[in-house]
């Protein structure tokens, strides 16, 4: 099938590349010319394991194209995917201006039946607004249908998730359009779940909000474990054996970050507020997460008294491993607090995200190697559980540091191992 995808962020690019891999003729459209040139050459603008290889393969096979022109991309497309960003506004609501621009452009360009598929995460009701906007602009020139097809990919494992996802949700008010989207996705072999449009929109928000709730819940339990002498990892493992609870997303740590959970939880609180429903549970989830991101600094202050002139090796800048994305990462809040406390920061991330210079306070020294970050440090803060940190040569690290004090925000080491390495080890939800 011939498909156009507008927006080449994580969602749009991964979707486009994977749809071309299963045999479709895909044109990805982005306004950024430099980015389009790069992608045409088979280079992904984002770090995502396995993506470059698939891009190159499908460009060579003549199935994957990139352009800045909507007109060129939409030409003969049977389906147009909207995958542009919906960044949060100051008040937490989703900014839909990019989505609306695409809707107008679709209205201006289509001239035969087209299925418009919304991949971007949009508040309940937005697809109907998109439908109205296209109807108003297309003036009967062509028929079209709207389908909500939310995305459940995780950054860092997005390619794998595209081929092995748990479900594909198709929300539609016309079975013909739903059938087109089901056909497009058939080669993935993933179970399809059909709903109405509003329910599909809600499934996306409810899923992210629920996963965020699991994380904040286990983080609250971890605080109790520390006070009562229990071990949160054993507690999570024991809880997770109950199939109704499930073992995933029960890893205690310094909270969730990224471009999705913080944004979508805030947006859902707003969406609820708009219909006069106070989503108190979700508000608490957000509060717990904000508190959690400050935990390592609190622990370090309790240990050292003052952090004035202390040198902190800050390990990990991305919001999770296998990505260069730093949006809403705990590393930002932690460095701001450390700077306020008068500490010096030597930061290192294996991928050295481009966003670092822009998102971190200027006082932060960005190091090229792990060794540079550790040299003469009074303590280590582990922010991201990169495999490199889990495999760290601790005796070497201890030698480089002034004192081997570790504050581990991701429980990278077992307590037994930390003790055997002779370090002072503070982690989350476990006795040190
Ligand atoms: C999340 C969802 O998992 C995807 O299903 C969804 O498609 C995506 O948002 C989206 O809305 O686009 P992502 O943000 O890539 O994916 O990352 P996750 O793997 O879910 O991790 C989010 C954060 O939670 C990370 O900071 C991670 O460290 C943290 N986390 C995760 C925990 O603290 N504990 C856990 O047990 C799991």
Task: Report which ligand 1 atom has the smallest distance to the Cα of 330.
Answer: 26
Per-residue pLDDT at 301: 98
Per-residue pLDDT at 431: 81
Nearest CA to ligand 1 atom 24: 256
Look at residue 274 and give its three-state secondary structure: helix
**What values do phi and psi take at 15, rounded to 5?**
-60, -45
Residue range 19-41: mean pLDDT, rounded: 97
The CA-based diameter of the chain, rounded to the nearest angstrom, is 74
Nearest CA to ligand 1 atom 28: 320
Instruction: For residue 373, give Cα distances in angstroms to 258, 296, 350, 377.
Output: 24, 18, 11, 7
Per-residue pLDDT at 94: 85
Looking at residue 319, the DSSP 8-state letter turns out to be S
Residue 432 scores a pLDDT above 80: no
Per-residue pLDDT at 353: 87
Helix (H) or strand (E) holding 345: strand 344-348
Distance 71 CA to ligand 1 centre (A): 35
pLDDT digits (tens, 9 = 90+) for 230-252: 999 999 999 999 999 999 999 99
Pocket of ligand 1 (CB under 6 A): 151-155, 208, 211, 215, 249-251, 253, 256-258, 260-261, 319-320
CA dist 125 and 203 (Å) reads 13
Nearest CA to ligand 1 atom 31: 249
pLDDT digits (tens, 9 = 90+) for 282-300: 999 999 999 999 999 999 9
Task: Report which ligand 1 atom has the smallest distance to the Cα of 150.
Answer: 7
Is residue 224 very low, low, confident or very high in pLDDT (cuts 50, 70, 90)? very high
Per-residue pLDDT at 126: 95
Please, what are the domains in the chain? 2-195 (3.40.50.720), 204-291 (1.10.1040.10), 293-426 (3.40.50.720)
Residue 260 is a catalytic residue: yes
Distance 111 CA to ligand 1 centre (A): 39
Task: Report which ligand 1 atom has the smallest distance to the Cα of 151.
Answer: 7
Task: Report which ligand 1 atom has the smallest distance to the Cα of 319.
Answer: 26
Find all residues with CB under 8 Å of 34, minimum gap 6, and list them.
none
Distance 248 CA to ligand 1 centre (A): 11
Per-residue pLDDT at 7: 97
pLDDT digits (tens, 9 = 90+) for 185-201: 999 999 999 999 999 99
Per-residue pLDDT at 92: 80
CA dist 25 and 207 (Å) reads 31
Residue range 36-50: mean pLDDT, rounded: 94
Nearest CA to ligand 1 atom 5: 152
Mean of the per-residue pLDDT values for the chain?
96
Query: Rg of the chain over CA atoms, in angstroms?
Result: 23
Distance 176 CA to ligand 1 centre (A): 33
Is residue 114 very low, low, confident or very high in pLDDT (cuts 50, 70, 90)? very high
Nearest CA to ligand 1 atom 6: 152
Catalytic residue among 260, 367, 379, 412: 260
Per-residue pLDDT at 93: 85
Distance 121 CA to ligand 1 centre (A): 15
Token pair recorded at residue 322:
């296998």
* Reported pTM: 0.95
Ordered DSSP codes for 278-317: --HHHHHHHHHHHHHTTHHHHHHHHHHS--TT-EEEEE--
Nearest CA to ligand 1 atom 13: 154
Residue range 367-374: mean pLDDT, rounded: 97
What's the distance, CA 71 to chain centroid? 30
Ligand 1 pocket mutation pick from 154, 200, 222 by most atoms within 8 angstroms of CB: 154
ipTM, 2 decimals?
0.97
How big is the CA angle at 251 (ends 248 and 253), to the nearest 5 degrees?
155
Contact 265, 282 (CB under 8 A): yes
Token pair recorded at residue 120:
């971007």
pLDDT digits (tens, 9 = 90+) for 84-98: 999 888 888 889 999
pLDDT digits (tens, 9 = 90+) for 291-333: 999 999 999 999 999 999 999 999 999 999 999 999 999 999 9
């Amino acid at each position: 099938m011939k498909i156009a995808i507008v927006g080449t962020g994580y969602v749009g690019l991964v979707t486009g590349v994977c749809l071309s891999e299963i045999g479709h003729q895909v044109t990805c459209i982005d306004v950024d010319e430099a980015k389009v040139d790069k992608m045409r050459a088979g280079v992904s603008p984002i770090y995502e394991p396995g993506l470059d290889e698939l891009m190159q393969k499908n460009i060579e096979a003549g199935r994957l194209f990139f352009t800045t022109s909507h007109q060129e991309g939409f030409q003969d497309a049977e389906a147009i995917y909207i995958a542009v960003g919906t960044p949060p506004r100051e008040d937490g609501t989703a900014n839909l201006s990019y989505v609306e621009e695409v809707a107008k452009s679709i209205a201006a360009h289509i001239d035969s039946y087209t299925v418009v598929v919304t991949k971007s995460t949009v508040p309940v009701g937005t697809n109907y607004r998109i439908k109205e906007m296209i109807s108003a602009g297309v003036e009967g020139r062509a028929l079209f249908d709207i389908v909500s097809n939310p995305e459940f990919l995780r950054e860092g494992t997005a390619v794998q998730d595209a081929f092995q996802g748990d479900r594909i949700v198709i929300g539609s008010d016309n079975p013909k359009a739903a059938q087109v989207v089901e056909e497009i996705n058939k080669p993935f072999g993933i179970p399809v779940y059909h709903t109405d449009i509003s329910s599909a929109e809600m499934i996306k928000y409810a899923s992210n909000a629920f996963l965020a709730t699991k994380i904040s819940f286990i983080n609250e339990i971890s605080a109790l474990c520390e006070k009562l002498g229990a071990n949160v990892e054993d507690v999570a493992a024991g809880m997770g054996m109950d199939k109704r609870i499930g073992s995933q997303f029960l890893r205690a740590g310094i909270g969730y970050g990224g471009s999705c959970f913080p944004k979508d939880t805030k947006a859902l609180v707003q969406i609820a507020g708009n219909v006069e429903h106070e989503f108190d549970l979700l508000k608490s989830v957000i509060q717990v997460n904000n508190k959690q991101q400050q935990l390592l600094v609190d622990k370090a202050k309790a240990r050292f008294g003052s952090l004035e002139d202390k040198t902190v090796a800050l390990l990990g800048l991305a919001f999770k491993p296998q990505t260069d994305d730093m949006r809403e990462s705990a590393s930002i809040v932690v460095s701001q607090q450390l700077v306020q406390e008068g500490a010096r920061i030597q930061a290192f991330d294996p991928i050295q995200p481009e966003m670092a210079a822009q998102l971190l306070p200027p006082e932060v020294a960005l190091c090229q190697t792990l060794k540079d970050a550790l040299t003469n440090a009074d303590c280590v803060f582990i922010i991201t559980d990169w495999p490199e940190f889990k495999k760290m040569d601790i005796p070497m690290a201890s030698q480089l540091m002034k004192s081997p004090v570790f504050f581990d925000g991701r429980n990278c080491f077992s307590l037994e191992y930390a003790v055997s390495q002779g370090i002072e080890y503070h982690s989350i939800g476990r006795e040190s």
